[in-house]
Amino acid sequence: MASYSARRRNSSIVMGLCLAATGIGIAWLFLILFSLLVNGIPGLTFAVFTEMTPPPGEHGGGLLNAIFGSVLMTVIGVGIGAPIGILAGTYLAEYGRHSKITPVIRFINDILLSAPSIIIGLFVYGAVVVPMRSFSAVAGSIALAVIVIPVVVRTTEDMLLLVPNTLREAASALGLPRSFVIRRVAYRAARAGLITGVLLAVARVGGETAPLLFTVLSNQFWSVNLVKPMANLPVTINNFINNPDANWKQLAWTGALLITVAVLSLNITARFFGASKDGR
């Protein structure tokens, strides 16, 4: 066996590599944020939030319609997906805790959780866009909802399983029906966790691009018609960034900065919410 000092040296080398890996990992985050700030901030004017996306070759303009479309579709998507996700998670953790179908649903849900988002886009194209014969904001929202559901199912189930059974038993002993035990006691005990799950789901779909590419398309003007294509930030960025037009490119960088800041702050808020509850 090698001498003690040699073993110590080996250990230090490997641990030094681990430290370096951590440094490089964190460096990526800051490199990406740095280039977003450098390229995005010059275009960050008031007009970005008040004007519509400009036609190619024109000066000025903003991202108002795209921001509005993104927010609207995210709200609708989460509005559809989160309730379904919470109910399904409730079944897994409460009614179906010992049922045979529960492990199967959990397994399928975990697969959906990591399924490529472009597949969701293809699915919604076939299931919504083709029958409706039009790209639409509704289709985009449904695609986002399909992505939201597994995220929320997972966190809801995890959080409800953390609620101590004695709480449920105490409530049942008072004569409360099962659904009241769940809604008034279990949900309340797991509230912070449930909110965390929904916030994480919002953060997840906020920057999703692939499923929107061929479900909503995009457009250049203000539109609130849900059955027509609607402007949205990710697809606008995608269309603007590869264009030689300097104004478009600048808007794309600014949009990218906005999306990243929004998504990352949601992530941090969600984690803060989740952590403050269990006092870690």
Partner 1 sequence: MTTISQTSKDLDMEMSSDRARVLKSLAFSDQLFSFATRAAAYAVLLLLAGIILSLIAGAWPAMKAFGFEFLVTRRWAPQLEPMPVLGALAPIYGTLVSSFIAMLIAVPFGLGIAIFLTELCPHSIRRPIRLAIELLAGIPSIIYGMWGFFVLGPFLATYVEPGIVWACADIPVLNSIFSGEMVSNLSLFNASLILAIMILPFITAIAVDVFSTVPPVLKEAAYGVGCTTWEVVNNVVLPFTRVGVVGGVMLALGRALGETMAVTFIIGNSFKISGSIFAPGTTISAAIASEFAESEGLHQSALILLGLLLFVLTFIVLASARFMLMRLEKRAGA
Site for partner 1 in 180-239 (CB under 8 A): 180, 182-183, 203, 206-210, 213-214, 217, 234, 237-238
**Separation CA 50–CA 47 (nearest Å):** 5
Phi and psi based region of residue 238 (left: phi greater than 0; alpha: psi -120 to 50; beta: remaining): alpha
Taking the complex as a whole, the smallest distance from the CB of residue 223 to partner 1 amounts, in Å, to: 18
> Where in 41-80 is the site for partner 1 (CB under 8 A)?
none
Q: Which is nearer to partner 1, 40 or 62 (CB)?
A: 40
Pattern 236-265, partner 1, x by CB under 8 A: -xx--x----------xx--x--xx--xx-
**Separation CA 96–CA 149 (nearest Å):** 18
Q: Which is nearer to partner 1, 224 or 234 (CB)?
A: 234
Taking the complex as a whole, the smallest distance from the CB of residue 219 to partner 1 amounts, in Å, to: 14
Taking the complex as a whole, the smallest distance from the CB of residue 47 to partner 1 amounts, in Å, to: 22
The single residue among 94, 140, 231, 248 that binds partner 1, judged by CB under 8 A, is 94
Taking the complex as a whole, the smallest distance from the CB of residue 11 to partner 1 amounts, in Å, to: 4
Region from 52-60, 104-112, 166-174, 223-231 binding partner 1, contact rule CB under 8 A: 104-112
SS (H, E, C) the chain: CCCHHHHHHHHHHHHHHHHHHHHHHHHHHHHHHHHHHHHHHHHCCCHHHHCCCCCCCCCCCCCHHHHHHHHHHHHHHHHHHHHHHHHHHHHHHHHCCCCCHHHHHHHHHHHHHHCCHHHHHHHHHHHHHHHHCCCCHHHHHHHHHHHHHHHHHHHHHHHHHHCCHHHHHHHHHCCCCHHHHHHHHHHHHCHHHHHHHHHHHHHHHHCCCHHHHCCCCCCCCCCCCCCCCCCCHHHHHHHHHCCCCHHHHHHHHHHHHHHHHHHHHHHHHHHHHHHHHHCC
**Separation CA 149–CA 147 (nearest Å):** 6
The single residue among 56, 57, 178, 276 that binds partner 1, judged by CB under 8 A, is 178
Q: Which is nearer to partner 1, 31 or 224 (CB)?
A: 31
> Where in 2-31 is the site for partner 1 (CB under 8 A)?
4, 7-8, 10-11, 14-15, 17-22, 24-26, 28-29, 31
> Where in 137-176 is the site for partner 1 (CB under 8 A)?
146, 149-150, 153
29 neighbors 250 (Cβ within 8 angstroms)? no
Taking the complex as a whole, the smallest distance from the CB of residue 248 to partner 1 amounts, in Å, to: 13
The single residue among 37, 44, 112, 167 that binds partner 1, judged by CB under 8 A, is 112
Taking the complex as a whole, the smallest distance from the CB of residue 224 to partner 1 amounts, in Å, to: 23
Size of the site for partner 1 (CB under 8 A): 89
Q: Which is nearer to partner 1, 150 or 193 (CB)?
A: 150
Taking the complex as a whole, the smallest distance from the CB of residue 58 to partner 1 amounts, in Å, to: 22
Say which amino acid occupies 249. K
Interaction of residue 273 with partner 1, rule CB under 8 A: no
